[in-house]
A = this chain, B = another copy of it.
Amino acid sequence: MKIVMAHGSGGNATRELIKDLFHKYLANDYLDKMEDSAILPVSEYPLAMTTDSFVVTPLEFPGGDIGKLAVCGTVNDLWMAGAEPQYLTAGFILEEGLDLDLLDRVVASLSRTAKEAGIKIVAGDTKVVQGNGGLYINTAGLGFRKSGRHIGTDVIREGDALIVSGDLGNHHACIMSQRMEIVNSIQSDCANLGPMVEDLLQAGIEVRAMRDITRGGLGTVLNEIAEASNHAVEIEEKSIPVDPEVKSFCDILGLDPLYMANEGKFLCITAQEHAERALNILKQNPLGTKARLIGSVTETGKPLVTVKTRLGGKRVIDVLYGEGLPRIC
């Protein structure tokens, strides 16, 4: 069975799709009310709100799918602000011709990932557009900053440590392999970063700021951090963790892991004196075994990113204009 335009009419075809497919996986007290908005309890904590649209192709890939990605991406954005994810909305744009079995698997995966992340899907929407069987998902997330701790680029200081939670480039290399039909065992690193962040916060680590290293890669994230905080940062090329298989893949295709997207890695900036402890905490998590201290914040008032190369030189890391791989997330 395929999606047809009538599935987006708002009539019985829409209701059947929602009842037979979405309801099967997403049913809960909030959604079952079928009201225009979900009513959520009063919160005693500051709120964190974020949104992301997901347009990745292929829709399923080793290590994940667009449904898992749509939850992890938004959940991670909340955690990066030090907020515990609580509520999620999901808007599905289905292209005519989309295979219903594929949609079923994606929604099942989205539901499973949301449950594992402890976030409730409280509102949803489905639209159908002309096209070639594609699927876009938008999620918006609401979380609570229970720790009371202020986390943001505005508290970054000279001397702070830069830690990366693991190998870089896996998601990018995986998606690219799929599209180019290259056979290898590279999997997307698509994951919920929550457990790692929670461990850091609960241990009282002085976390200044965090960023998940997605579209644009570490190079882009570091530039955003440098600009937003108005600080220079320096990293060491040799300390950047890359999986050997991804490294070979990059060498053959001339790719730089510094600009490759990840979906389960983050940059954590901590007070220098907490860096060692933070690193150890991350390494104890199955997702963080490859965590590395990669550099530090070197100067105030100068938004610049430099890398110490393997040969001992220094070069500036800029933001690329475009990149080799669109629709990565």
A40 within 8 A of B: yes
Instruction: Give the shortest distance, in Å, between A203 (CB) and chain B (any CB).
Output: 21
A90 at interface by CB-CB < 8 Å: yes
Q: In the complex, what residues of B have CB within 8 A of residue A321's CB?
A: 6, 9, 11-13
| Complex Cα gap A124–B212 (Å) | 16
Do the beta carbons of A322 and B89 come within 8 Å of each other?
A: no
Say yes or no: A38-B9 contact (C-beta < 8 A), given A93-B136, A127-B55, A129-B55: no
- Distance (Å) between the CB of A265 and the closest chain B CB? 14
Closest Cβ–Cβ distance, residue A110 to chain B (whole Å): 14
Residue A152, interface by CB 8 Å: yes
* A33 within 8 A of partner (CB): yes
A24-49, CB under 8 A of B: which get 1 and which 0? 00000000011111111111111111
A11 — nearest CB in chain B belongs to which residue? Answer: B320
CA distance A275 to B76 in the complex (A): 48
**Residues 111-150 of chain A, each 1 if its beta carbon lies under 8 Å from chain B, else 0:** 0000000000011110111110010101011110100000
A288 at interface by CB-CB < 8 Å? no
A92 within 8 A of B: yes
Query: At the interface, yes or no: A176 with Cβ under 8 Å from chain B?
Result: no
A97: CB under 8 A from chain B? no
Please indicate the chain B residues that have their CB under 8 angstroms from the CB of A87 in the complex: 49
| Secondary structure call for the A interface | mixed
A256 CB to closest chain B CB, in angstroms? 12
Given contacts A39-B145, A323-B10, contact A123 B50 (CB under 8 A): yes
- Size range of the interface on A? 35 or more
Complex interface bits, A214-254 against B, C-beta within 8 A gives 1, otherwise 0: 11110010001000100000000000000000000000000
Tell me if A319 counts as interface (CB < 8 A to partner B).
yes
When chains A and B are docked, how far (Å) is the Cα of A152 from the Cα of B47?
A: 25
**Residues in B neighbouring A10, C-beta threshold 8 A:** 214-217, 220, 261, 323, 328
Of the candidates B35, B50, B81, which one forms a contact with A81 in the assembled complex, judged by CB atoms under 8 Å apart? B35
Q: Check A205 for interface membership: any CB of B closer than 8 A.
A: no
A99 on the B face (CB < 8 A)? no
Contacts of A310 in B (CB 8 A): none
Query: Per a CB cutoff under 8 Å, which of B12, B37, B42, B153 touches A35?
Result: B153
Indicate whether A50 sits within 8 Å of B78 (C-beta atoms), given known contacts A9-B320, A220-B10, A323-B11. no
Could you name 27 residue pairs across A and B whose Cβ atoms are closer than 8 Å?
Answer: A6-B326, A8-B55, A8-B326, A8-B327, A10-B328, A11-B320, A11-B323, A12-B319, A13-B322, A34-B224, A36-B76, A36-B80, A36-B81, A36-B211, A37-B49, A37-B78, A38-B48, A38-B50, A39-B46, A41-B46, A42-B44, A51-B89, A55-B129, A89-B140, A93-B93, A127-B327, A136-B136
Give A contacts to B, CB under 8 Å: 4-6, 8-15, 33-55, 76-78, 80-81, 83, 87, 89-93, 122-125, 127-131, 134, 136, 138, 140-143, 145, 152-154, 210-212, 214-217, 220, 224, 228, 259, 261, 319-323, 326-329
